[in-house]
Amino acid sequence: MPASRRGSGSVTLLTGQTIAIHTRTQDEEDLPHATKKTMADHLRKYESLFTLTPQRMRMIVEAFTETLELGLNKPNQIVPMIPTFVFGWPTGEEKGDFLALDLGGTNLRVCLVTLQGEGKFEITQTKYRLTEDQKQDDGQKLFDFCAECLNTFVETNMGEGEGQLKPGQCLPLGFTFSYPCSQERIDHGELIRWTKGFGAGNTEGRDVAAMFKKSLEKFQLPIQLTALINDTTGTLIASHYVNPRTKIAVIFGTGCNAAYMEHVKDVPKIENLGIDPAAEMAINCEWGAFDSFEHEHLPRTKYDTIVDDTSNKPGEQAFEKLISGRYLGEILRLVLCELIDEGVLFLGQNTYKLERPYIFDTAFLSLMESDPTDELLMVIGIFTHFFALETTLAERQFFRALAKLIGRRAARLSACGIAAIVSKMGYLEEGCSVGADGSLYNKYPGFADRVHEGLQDIFGDKGRNIITHHAEDGSGVGSAIIAAMTKNRKDAGLYLHV
């Protein structure tokens, strides 16, 4: 009998779920396992596939910067660089009650935001879970659901008592719709394409603001859709509201994207709109689409190609598919499946649970990387509890190292995107703050440090001038501030046509 040590304990996952772990550690077990040497050899192979050298990063930044310029020059480019009609920064003195509706990737959120001036606010909110069916069903039904939730929220929170709506009062609403929409004006947005696995029918190519207004009419609510915004634009404005050094906002969550403030004179494609060239306007980059279809610039492995080919949108969101939380777990799972097929891993064990696409959550990568135990008890827990698979220490160390490679690549690519905006805008010398949000940024251990390290690899020491920080709630507070800014702008009669 090989030596074996047993123990039990429990861990709590990010989801709040607690799992019991029974450990047994031994080097040679009854099951045929890969040797330490085999795992080390494989790791070297993956290291070379997933590692980005500083030189390669600089090449990506150069191509990225050109792509950003192209999107500002001409309409309908792959990275669309969408003018948002959010003019300049908030003053911090925006005041009043605003509703915000946030349709992101996982939940639907309704918020009542009271802006109090001096950068202060209060927020009341409710979250509603979206089902997979709702994401794929008819688009109008999805907006009906949004309107219904809004109605429930208003009835619950503003029907009576202190927050009761006054007769004749009409609440401005900021709708955060975090998918690429080309906008002709701030309360309009034609959905270019669904991302993040959404696929609701009869929506692409249509004005989602008009669709939502139609749903809203059914409830006769005293609400006016004032602004349709992207989560990155909301994050940019909300972060600047509390930290005026913020010049760029990024989201690294289920999807990924960035927004920043641009000079109107540098957006040639909107020359015809009669906007003062000296004005400033936020641009929603939709950078997740960088390198889509042509796949010329990004280092894609065969696992990335499989993720892409088997997605509901092959060819699209090429940058996002290497970075965002929706895909990282799947990339790791595909590597494991390859090693299973090659007879390296889990010989003699039933691997059917691991063979299901998207079953390996990106949260598992976070958990594996943050496992503090020598034995890697968390990794044991994940594999036994979720996949009924036994692992040796050498295998677990390999899984953790693999998670690190995939997570690090995502962070370094993210740094390339940030660096492209920094270069384009000339922010390197003076430095700037980058408001960042999303599950990957907030929960993946070391993600921010790796982004900062990446920026230094690209720019040298000056890369330290660019600092990311956890952003203010863009989809709620940001959306409300933008609704307030828009209302103020329109009340002042400025650019009423957009």
For ligand BGC, the binding residues (CB under 6 A) are 104, 178-180, 195-196, 230-232, 251, 253, 255-257, 286, 288, 320
Least separation in angstroms between CB 317 and ligand BGC: 6
Task: Kindly provide the b/e burial profile for residues 52-72, where b requires at least 16 CB atoms within 10 angstroms of the residue's own CB.
Answer: beeebbeebbeebbebbbebb
Dmax over Cα atoms in the chain, in whole Å?
84
* Cβ(322)–Cβ(412) below 8 Å: no
Closer CB to ligand BGC, 144 or 231, in the complex: 231
Residue placing its CB nearer to ligand BGC in the complex, 105 or 381: 105
10 Å Cβ neighbour count for 143? 24
| β partners of residue 177 | 103
For the four alpha carbons of 336, 341, 345 and 348, in that order, the dihedral sign comes to positive
Q: Which is nearer to ligand BGC, 231 or 262 (CB)?
A: 231
432 neighbors 249 (Cβ within 8 angstroms): no
User: Minimum Å distance from CB 298 to ligand BGC?
Assistant: 16
Active site residue 178: yes
List all residues 6 or more positions away from 368 whose beta carbon is below 8 Å from its beta carbon. 376, 378, 379, 382, 399, 400, 403
Query: Which residue in 102, 109, 178, 324 is the catalytic one?
Result: 178
- In 10 A of CB 298, how many CB atoms? 21
Distance CA 340, CA 359 (A): 16
With respect to ligand BGC, which residue has the nearer C-beta, 255 or 463? 255
Contact 161, 206 (CB under 8 A): no
**Catalytic site includes residue 193:** yes
Q: How far is the CB of 104 from ligand BGC (least distance, A)?
A: 6
Q: Exposure of 169 by Cβ count < 10 A (0-12 exposed, 13-18 middle, 19+ buried)?
A: exposed
Q: How far is the CB of 289 from ligand BGC (least distance, A)?
A: 8
Report the nearest approach of ligand BGC to the CB of residue 102 (Å).
Answer: 10
Least separation, in Å, of the C-beta of 323 and ligand BGC? 10
Q: Determine the 3-state secondary structure of 105 from DSSP.
A: coil
Q: Please, which residue, 259 or 415, has the CB nearer to ligand BGC?
A: 259
Q: State the minimum distance, in angstroms, from the CB of residue 188 to ligand BGC.
A: 16
Q: Which residue is nearest to ligand BGC (CB)?
A: 255
Q: Confirm whether 239 is a catalytic residue.
A: no
Kindly give the residue spans of alpha helices, DSSP state H, lying in 371-392. 377-387
The answer to whether 253 touches 226, Cβ cutoff 8 Å, is no
**Sheet bearing 256-263, strands edge to edge:** 82-87, 280-284, 256-263, 246-252, 432-437, 466-470
Closer Cβ to ligand BGC, 4 or 107, answer by number: 107
Q: DSSP for 297-340?
A: SS---HHHHHHHHTSSSTTS-TTHHHHSHHHHHHHHHHHHHHHH
Which candidate in 187, 231, 291, 308 is catalytic?
Answer: 231
Q: By C-beta, is 223 or 256 nearer to ligand BGC? A: 256
Distance, CA of 378 to CA of 369 (rounded, Å)? 9
Q: Give 286 or 457: the residue with its C-beta nearer to ligand BGC.
A: 286
Instruction: Tell the smallest beta-carbon distance from residue 96 to ligand BGC (Å).
Output: 26
Q: Which of 283, 391, 306 is nearest to 345 (CA)?
A: 391
- From the candidates 109, 144, 187, 193, give the one annotated as an active-site residue: 193
Active site residues: 178, 193, 231
